[in-house]
Structure 1
Amino acid sequence: MTAKDVILDRIRAARELAPSTTVTVPRNYRTGRTLPDAELIELFVDRLVDYKANVHRSTAEELPATLAKVLADRDARRVGVPAGLDASWLSKYGGEVVVDSSDVPAPELEGLDGVVTSSTVSCAETGTIFLDGSPDQGRRALTLVPDLHVCVVPLSTVEVGVPEAMARLVPERPTTLISGPSATSDIELERVEGVHGPRTLDVVIVG
């Protein structure tokens, strides 16, 4: 008998001993919390900066100019975008715009200088941005392979806490949670960025 057989036998035995009744777990989460826009933005920006994200403010009208400046400051000359991104957002960008598709192998995305996407919802308390693979956000590889991610966050999609943010998600969609640029620490707590995703995260809050 292999170790795998032993483990599976133990699982089967435990299942036979387990009660067959269904237990309802109460989930009395705090929901419906709101903050005035000024306080919500202050909280969200504080958390983003704490996670070492770069934060920019913009109006809807100024967004093309803001994105063009952010990308120019990063020397991003070739930028990937999901197929459903509003083309007007990059109307003032002078570089090459590459529209992503599933036909492009993920390793080839490394040739991009950055990526620009929208977002689904964000949580101010944790500084977390949620992507769900919608047409204006694209596939997960698009936001994980390039070294720069410029993410547009409409103020109307920012919620106070996690329960409020989760309530706006579609459970069946693939969700990616972003809290600052990709980073990890070794046993000596030496921070290394860009290991599992973009080394640089620029967040443009619109509204």
Structure 2
Amino acid sequence: MSLPKRVVLVGPMGAGKSTIGRMLARELGYRFMDSDRIIEERCGADIPWIFDVEGEEGFRHRETAILSELSGQSQTVLATGGGAVMREENHAHLKRDALVVYLKTSVEQQVERTRKDRNRPLLQSDDPEAVLRRLFALRDPLYTRLADIVMFTDRKSPRLVVRQLVNRMDPKSPRQVRKVGKEGSKHA
């Protein structure tokens, strides 16, 4: 199996898309891109500010434009924002010439990983766990439908997830030990 033209990481906040994406890109010799960071760089403002000034709809419009632009890039690993799947028009941008990987994690892990992060506007609430549960219920079916591979990240180091993912992409790779289990297939 040859490596995909590009890899797109989808999943909820706190799943490890940016951390795993950087490591995966290094392993594959690809360039790493993070759609949220690109939006911040182009706006000259952080995501909470964009949400405050333009609202979520304004942010989502910017996100769609970036995803459209980046869909033509090759030899890249793209980490997307958790809500990128909410717009139907983004689905084609995410899938175009790409292997889509859903980094799936439990709400409990999301709570643990995001509890001190103030750069997530949707979690600035009295009950962030309830917000995460609601978002998971809405988005999980979309992540699953778009994914070519589902990788579970709960209680796994980013290095292990990358190793397992590379093994799934290129099972003949001599540097990887093949592991089959929960993450053995999308339908496992």
TM, length-normalised to structure 2: 0.30
The structure that is helix-richer by fraction is: 2
TM, length-normalised to structure 1: 0.28
The structure that is strand-richer by fraction is: 1
**Which has the higher relative contact order, 1 or 2, with Cα contacts under 8 A spaced 6 or more apart?**
2
